[in-house]
Structure 1
Amino acid sequence: MSAAQVLQTLRGRGLTLATAESLTGGLVGAGLTAVAGSSDVYRGGVVCYATDLKATLARVPEALLAEHGPVAPETAAALARGVAGACGADVGLATTGVAGPSPQDGHPVGEVYVAVALPGAEPEVRRLHLSGSRDAIRAQTVDAVLALALDALAASSSALG
């Protein structure tokens, strides 16, 4: 899936986008802003690599982080919802997980969660079990969150009409 497809779909629906990235460290935002004209859709994003920044920058409730930790479907959902609010966007995308080289807090390398929050809907989260190098896991995560966004937008469009 490409960033251009996501931007085109959002543009066609009159929606704006924000991103909250942990393990991808800005790769989603970089891919989106590499597309000419992205500024009419992409509002911005936060790289919240450290757990405390998930709360302060992406508005993830501290109690949720304390209960579930940074690598969890609940956290991914809260990141997507929170960053949309923090950036004044209609849609939020989020990535969180373990890219390696070592497991983190009992989570294996390749355990990743991507999420999308659309207006008026509960965030949709996908759990991924990825393999390969750190760079490969990060690249696969970018592709997965863009694919999730397109799937969710298509489903919401179908549900409306």
Structure 2
Amino acid sequence: MLNASQLVILDRDGVINHDSDAYIKSLAEWIAYPNAIKAIARLSQAGFKVAVATNQSGIARGYYSEAALQAMHDHLEALVSAQGGQIAHIAYCPHGPDDQCECRKPLPGLLIQIQNALGLESLNGSWMVGDSLRDIQAGEAVGCRTALVRTGKGEKTLLNHIGLEKSAVFHDLAEFTNWLCQP
């Protein structure tokens, strides 16, 4: 059975791939960070389960469809698989900020979906890696250890420093992976 400490949950935009204030609306706009795919594969190869928890309000806003999002996620999974890794589960929130849902980060609903999908009793000791305060807050709400990456909105998030006291900070996902996987 999977131990929660063997789970790494990643935000998507800004952690795995480039982010945009205009939203990532298509596979053509979805561009992985150079070392992120290898980092995910390395986590898998080191015995970690990797999951993704991503807010995708562009669906509610009508900027792209769930089919377009699925194409991006299929591509992500294929890239990781080609490097010898696997993504155990992808959870996404298609709602807008005013939709009163339970899944939109900073609420922990996406992480609870991952917990249920992977059959974990809790997420205590898992890792949540993000580039925004809401990623960190969602992780802390369910007992995750948290890490902030400087990619995406990470540098801007660091300027505020509020709510990040317990979070480890890394340049990018590859640096986090190197740290976590060191012997």
TM-score (norm 1): 0.43
TM-score (norm 2): 0.39
Give the structure with the higher percent helix. 1
